[in-house]
Amino acid sequence: MIDLHCHILPGVDDGARSFTEAVAMCRLAADDGCEAMVATPHQRRGEWWNADRGQLAALADQLQDEVGPGFRVLLGGEIHVDSGLLDEIGKLPEGGGVLPLAGSRYLLIEFDSMGTEADAIHLIHELTVTGWRPIVAHPEFIPWLAPDLERVARLVALGALTQVTAMSVTGDFGRRPQSDTWALLDAGLVHFLASDSHNTRRRPPGLRRAYDVVADRWGERTARRLASDNPRAVVENRPLPEAV
């Protein structure tokens, strides 16, 4: 399995607070069956702007050194959406303060809780026509989005992909995020399972429990696609394999 969304870079957001904690998170993920994590610090969100790509890359390199071989630490960002985002993405790859996932054409984007469908449609359209592949982080926590399956379907039809959170699938965040997540899975509108882990205890890494829930209800093939095949295509910068 490969985890595309986690806050393991120390000291840059509300995730890991130290290298010790970051290494412990990587070990938990490895023990749970993950071979790689893409570190996705918050970007362009409130106090966590994190526009210095060199600084973030140095932290990821240091974490990889401390974790050692056998588990890969890759770098990306969880990019909060605002009206200036398209301009910033337009500066890539040489400039710009946002990080695609593992240097690919995939971008993990976090819609604002006060966003609108019209703005989202504009953003997804502009990104896809310029060759980006936007992945919508945890639609189950975006109040104007997840309860409306048709709205999610419209964004997916425009080229958006979606990532649900492992602890939403398992019900650890309560019934509403779980039921919205399951409805998305029922509708075939989910492309990735990721941990969005922040620490070792309250929001820990690990996809296995959610993988098992998905395998039980939607089949082993779906679980493997969401936790392994699709994330692997992202870090290898390939199109997602066809769902069969």
CB of 142 to Fe ion, least distance (A): 12
User: Smaller CB distance to Fe ion: residue 69 or 111?
Assistant: 111
Q: 């075939």: which residue's tokens?
A: 188
CB of 169 to Fe ion, least distance (A): 15
| Residue 123 and residue 85 in contact, taking contact as beta carbons nearer than 8 Å | yes
Angle at 36 between CA 24 and CA 177, to 5 degrees: 80
| Residue 113 and residue 67 in contact, taking contact as beta carbons nearer than 8 Å | no
Q: Helix 19-31 to helix 53-67 angle, to the nearest 10 degrees?
A: 60
User: Smaller CB distance to Fe ion: residue 21 or 196?
Assistant: 196
Residues 6+ apart with CB under 8 A from 229: 240, 241
Quick check: 3 binds Fe ion (CB under 5 A)? no
Contact flags string 191-230 toward Fe ion, x per CB under 5 A: -----x----------------------------------
CB of 31 to Fe ion, least distance (A): 21
Quick check: 32 binds Fe ion (CB under 5 A)? no
Q: Restricting to residues 76-95, name those near Fe ion by CB under 5 A.
A: 78
Piece of the chain touching Fe ion by CB under 5 A; list 114-122, 163-171, 178-186, 189-197: 189-197
Instruction: Give, as one character, the DSSP assignment of residue 142.
Output: -
Q: Percent helix, strand and coil across the chain, each rounded to 5?
A: 45, 15, 40
CB of 68 to Fe ion, least distance (A): 25
Piece of the chain touching Fe ion by CB under 5 A; list 16-24, 74-82, 88-96, 124-132: 74-82
| Residue 10 and residue 16 in contact, taking contact as beta carbons nearer than 8 Å | yes
**Residues engaged in binding Fe ion (CB under 5 A):** 78, 196
